[in-house]
Amino acid sequence: MEPQLAEPSPKGSRKVILQGNEACAKAAIYAGCRFFAGYPITPSTEIIEFLSSEMISVGGTFIQMEDEIASACAIVGARWGGKKAMTATSGPGFTLMQETIGYAAVTETPVVIVNVQRGGPSTGQPTMSSQQDIYQVKYGSHGDYEIIAMTPSSVQEMYDFTIRAFELSEKFRTPVILLADEVVGHMREKVTIYEGEKAIRGGHRNYVVSPQEDFYTGGNCLVEGQLHDEEGMRIGHLPSKSGEFIRSICGKIQNHIDEIQDVQSYFMEDADIAILAYGSVSRSALNAVKQAKGIKLSADEKEGKLRFLKKLVRKKSAEENPYSHLNVGLIKVNTVWPFPEKQIRRLAAKCRYVFVPEMNNGKYCREIERCLKECKVISLPKIGGEMHSPAELLESIAKEVKEDE
């Protein structure tokens, strides 16, 4: 790496109205990203548009490549040249990048890839939202590897998670995916942003060829896509060493899951019904939870304020609030991968029901079913490009609970 700024410098923070994609681009600059290669694709295009000039104003490099394959390759190349690098894309482009994501994982290259999800498969629904890539993001490239993926649900989270994506990728020397979707990518909200550049400390590869991690520092780095040993030499033909290598690159993420995971909970203290959601759907889910509690809805309300209001809720009659009998809370998963199994199990320990709404055919729900054996896990899939409305969620939950009684 080139020398970093000595101190983190959140000198001035200010509040602005930004679009999600724009916030992501601004966060990348703040996190020290100085190389962007990309290819325009809806609904992520605002990121490449914004960075085409912004990257130049901070002395970085911007290039529009010939396709998404080349974009992903270029950021890996640039990272070995010592520049923090990012690309942004959507479904079809993300599919093309899978080859290089595997390469980045095996070569322990820290890069950030933004996937603003749209409906698939294939060209699918370019302008509509989805969460259909939830498995592709983990299993998209061939072979065994681990990935870190974060799912923002607001413009503020687009900003914050992008910064964290750079921190995690540098620390664990691994590609990190910001798994946004069209809803958060295109919405505009108030967001707190920072001036300057955040200092991000880099980690080391598990398989270190030399103390120097970058090219042109005299370290004779051998960056090798085949399974390799500490010297970079291939070991693909040696079963025990190859197994050790795979365990190492998977283990460096699996073994630090406590540090990586980010799972938030709302009203889960005494809830016996949980909605488990990630990304933009968790907005609807939080809204639904508040409706059930009879809490007046406001985007800005803080947890503490809500707790006070919660006490008033119970007094409301069933006529005013048909869902007041549902003792429901929200588990919001921000790092979908590595799967935060322990944390989810802990939060849902007292639950009879866990509802998993997602904008796909019911994918992440399978992971939840696998880890929560004691309660009833119900998938609430929605495909077609629209988000679940809070009313829809509450209806489905009430129906399910009633049927059981």
Q: Which amino acid is at 89?
A: T
Nearer to another protein, 53 or 317 (CB): 53
Instruction: Kindly tell me which residue out of 230, 231, 269, 374 binds another protein, with binding defined by CB under 8 A.
Output: 231
220 scored as a contact of another protein (CB under 8 A):
yes
122 scored as a contact of another protein (CB under 8 A):
no
Nearer to another protein, 121 or 218 (CB): 218
Nearer to another protein, 124 or 232 (CB): 232
Contact between residue 336 and residue 152 where contact means Cβ atoms under 8 Å apart: no
> Taken in order 54, 60, 66, 69, is the CA torsion positive or negative?
negative
Beta strand 61-64 pairing with 35-38: parallel
Nearer to another protein, 100 or 280 (CB): 100
Contacts of 369 (CB under 8 A, 6+ apart): 377
Nearer to another protein, 43 or 110 (CB): 110
Nearer to another protein, 64 or 298 (CB): 64
Minimum distance of another protein from residue 377's CB (angstroms): 39
Instruction: Kindly tell me which residue out of 199, 222, 299, 349 binds another protein, with binding defined by CB under 8 A.
Output: 222
How many Cα atoms are found within 13 Å in the side-chain-facing hemisphere of 49? 11
56 scored as a contact of another protein (CB under 8 A):
yes
Nearer to another protein, 77 or 362 (CB): 77
Please state whether the peptide bond connecting residue 338 to the residue before it is cis, i.e. omega within 30 degrees of 0.
Answer: yes
Instruction: Kindly tell me which residue out of 42, 95, 100, 284 binds another protein, with binding defined by CB under 8 A.
Output: 100
Minimum distance of another protein from residue 72's CB (angstroms): 8
Strand partners, 379: 356
Instruction: Kindly tell me which residue out of 19, 22, 27, 35 binds another protein, with binding defined by CB under 8 A.
Output: 35
- Burial class for 405, CB neighbours closer than 10 Å (0-12, 13-18, 19+): exposed
And the tokens for 4? 């970093």
224 scored as a contact of another protein (CB under 8 A):
yes
And the tokens for 98? 């899978």
61 scored as a contact of another protein (CB under 8 A):
yes
| CA separation for the pair 250, 34 (Å, rounded) | 28
And the tokens for 287? 């809204």
Minimum distance of another protein from residue 75's CB (angstroms): 6
63 scored as a contact of another protein (CB under 8 A):
yes
- Burial class for 62, CB neighbours closer than 10 Å (0-12, 13-18, 19+): middle
205 scored as a contact of another protein (CB under 8 A):
no
Nearer to another protein, 233 or 299 (CB): 233
DSSP letter, residue 125: B
Binding mask 154-183 for another protein (x = CB under 8 A): ------------------------------
Q: How many residues bind another protein (CB under 8 A)?
A: 42
| CA separation for the pair 293, 321 (Å, rounded) | 8
Nearest one of 127, 110, 265 to 177, comparing CA atoms? 110
233 scored as a contact of another protein (CB under 8 A):
yes
And the tokens for 373? 């054996």
Site residues (vs another protein, CB under 8 A): 35, 37, 53, 56-57, 59, 61, 63, 65-67, 69-70, 73-83, 85, 99-100, 103, 215-216, 218-226, 231-233
